[in-house]
Chain A
Amino acid sequence: MTTHYLVLSALLFAIGAIGVLVRRNAIVVFMCVELMLNACNLAFVTFARQQGNLDGQIIAFFVMVVAAAEVVIGLAIIVMIFRTRRSASVDDANLLKY
């Protein structure tokens, strides 16, 4: 019954995507992205089970590593902008437009 897992992962992905759209705080937005990545992981492992090979699971590990790296970078950037602007709201950052 792997379908449920797929549905769940789809849900998680959707929640993440929606979160990116609705939340203002850069950190939270970023967390939502992470949520999406993990949704992918869930999908991968599920499919690995479906297909009966290990690739999916290995991929999941890769993704975790990449996600970790992303966190490092992301936090660095967000902290940097927070220090200058004293705010982590992504809506404050719109000098660049049109």
Chain B
Amino acid sequence: MEPAEIIQHSGGVIGVSWLMVALPLLGAAILLLFGRRTDRWGHLLGVAMSLGAFAVAVAAFVQLLGLPEAQRRQGVRLYEFIPGLADMGLLIDPLSISFALLITGVGSLIHIYSIGYMSHDPGRRRFFAYLNLFVAAMLLLVLADNYVVLFVGWEGVGLASYLLIGFWQFKPTAAAAAKKAFIVNRVGDFGLLIAIFTIWTTFGSVAFNELTGGAVDGAISSGDASQGTITAVGLLLLLGACGKSAQLPLQSWLLDAMEGPTPVSALIHAATMVTAGVYLVVRSGAFFEAAPTAQLVVTIVGVATLLAGAIIGCAKDDIKKGLAGSTMSQIGYMMLGAGLGPVGYAFAIAHLIAHGFFKANMFLGAGSVMHAMNDEVDMRKYGGLFSVMKVTAATFMIGYLAIIGFPLLSGYFTKDGIIETAMEHNQILGWLAVVGAGITGFYMSRMVFMTFFGKRRWADDAHPHESPSVMTVPLILLSIGSVFLGAFLILDNRLMRFLAPAVGLPEHLPGFHPFSVPGLTTLALVAVGVVYAWFRYGAAEVPRLAPRGSFLTTFARRDLYGDALNEALFMRPGQWLARFAVFFDNRGIDGLVNGLAAGIGGTSGRLRRIQTGYVRSYALSILFGAAVVVGALLYVGNM
């Protein structure tokens, strides 16, 4: 089934769905403009705005459900943005609304959590302003009804991420990480921009409702657009997606991004922003489905990243970096799914939503742990925390089980779906995904054992305690989601059929068969991973200082030498180039200009010596001149 047509609508809540963007934006504006005056109640305003957006989203969702399938793509045109090019318009359809719910829902929970987490931070008001700004931008991104507005949101979240990663600007590492994140993202944006240009020059429009699969196929068949063009569009979009979603080769920024406060890592760098790439690919399905090559590349990138992330996750002692690696890996799964057409879309989105919950859950859990351990992040200094902070531990454990795909928890359904679909497309990719799952089992278990079990390896001044309820309640809510969402979304393809109007529906819906070969293999591998982790980190003694480790370990610790590569390939040559350019500009071009001036000056200095001051030499010059003139005239005259 093809996606439904978009129909313009402005009634009911959907008509005012722009409030979803406006409310948080307003919140951010107020908090930033009125500054210190709002310090006392700023965080509350932030939460309120986020909850308001959530309310609108839910209402819109309900209204959407009330409509017949064919009308479930509602466009809301606000105003002409760039005359002749793009409108400021929103698109409320199953896809965007699912994201909206995730963003506002998880976002609100994290807002609430932050009240507690940032309570001692002087910049809390600013923090909430940025969070609101992020929510607004993210919603604009997913609700946009054309690529230009999407790009506005796209960069908006980039900005928010920049501000939040660098929230503690006085930490040079944080500032550097923020800059790195933004610049790497810009590389992706470069691709996205070119993609938009190509789309515009090919189709004369950037609006989603003009760029349906039908339009694309029509363009190809009529020869208006070559297959190559469409493939190019796909790959360029993918480049953009890689930037946002920290997929290879633009993954390097995500691990550094952990410099930001933990709620930020949870919201932006786990639950929502980093999944924007997946959204982009799914939203642009029309192009990818018409360009198999592009699709293949998407899946390859996905698999490569999911392995890379998993491997990195294995070697990290910093709990947040460990989680970051896992995020990379999970998004890899989503990418893989997004590269597999309508079936994959559904699983990808399902995994995305589930991941949003359990990863946010675990990040916040980690935050709670850090909160308890005076911001210690090194898991080698944790251990045996289970007993002192039960809620945190329990919720974290639920997230853990969910992510490793423990049967009947969220991850089990969603990840399995992706693996199954991948198998159908391409055995190799499928099996690699399975391996990835196994590694996941290992590194996540490692994290859990090092943190909550084994001997206490705390610093002497550490007096861990359970976090306040303002922090634990969100944890609980999120863990509930982590448990049930997967089953809810996957069983009898609920999400797939819901999304159908937006992304289309495959001819034959996939059934759910838990005892397939890949499924069982996955479980087995995960089990192996868990057990191995138990022996390495649960039962055995964990040294407080990291051992040198094998080559593979170092390889993983160094983020697979991603940074080293960037440094060698881009940073150093770039700096060298800049220095050379400056030199060239000063000595070369400007040197030419000044040299010319100096040259004239020098000539003048020498020439004026002719003016000897001797009257007789003057007379000579006159006579000489006369002779020349005579000669010249005779020459000309007798020509």
Contacts and interface: CB of A to CB of B under 8 A. Distances in A.
A96 B613 contact: yes
Interface in B615-633: 615-616, 619-620, 623
B614 A91 contact: yes
B612 A97 contact: yes
Interface string B194-235: 000000000000000000000000000000000000000000
Nearest to B626: A17
A17 B623 contact: yes
Given A20-B616, A21-B616, A97 B611 contact: yes
B463 interface: no
Interface in A1-59: 17, 20-22, 24, 29
Nearest to B607: A98
Contacts of B611: 97-98
A94 B613 contact: yes
B37 interface: no
A98 B613 CA distance: 7
B613 A20 contact: no
B619 A95 contact: no
A90 interface: yes
Contacts of A93: 615
A20 B620 CA distance: 9
Contacts of A22: 616
Contacts of A98: 608-609, 611, 613
A21 B623 CA distance: 9
A90 B616 CA distance: 8
Interface residues of B, number: 11
Contacts of B615: 29, 90, 93-94
Interface string B581-612: 00000000000000000000000000011011
B628 to A, nearest CB: 15
Nearest to B614: A94
A34 to B, nearest CB: 15
Interface string B442-462: 000000000000000000000
A20 B623 CA distance: 10
Nearest to A24: B616
Contact of A94 (B608, B612, B619): B612
B319 to A, nearest CB: 81
Interface in A42-98: 90-91, 93-98
Contacts of A24: 616
Contacts of B613: 94-98
Given A90-B615, A91-B614, A97-B613, A21 B608 contact: no
A94 B618 CA distance: 11
Interface in B454-509: none
A94 B620 CA distance: 15
A14 to B, nearest CB: 10
Contacts of B608: 98
A51 B24 CA distance: 108
B612 A20 contact: no
A93 to B, nearest CB: 7
Nearest to B620: A21
B601 to A, nearest CB: 14
Contacts of A90: 614-616
Nearest to B616: A21
Nearest to B605: A98
26 contacts: A17-B623, A20-B616, A20-B619, A21-B616, A21-B619, A21-B620, A21-B623, A22-B616, A24-B616, A29-B615, A29-B616, A90-B615, A91-B614, A93-B615, A94-B612, A94-B613, A94-B614, A95-B613, A96-B613, A97-B611, A97-B612, A97-B613, A97-B614, A98-B608, A98-B611, A98-B613
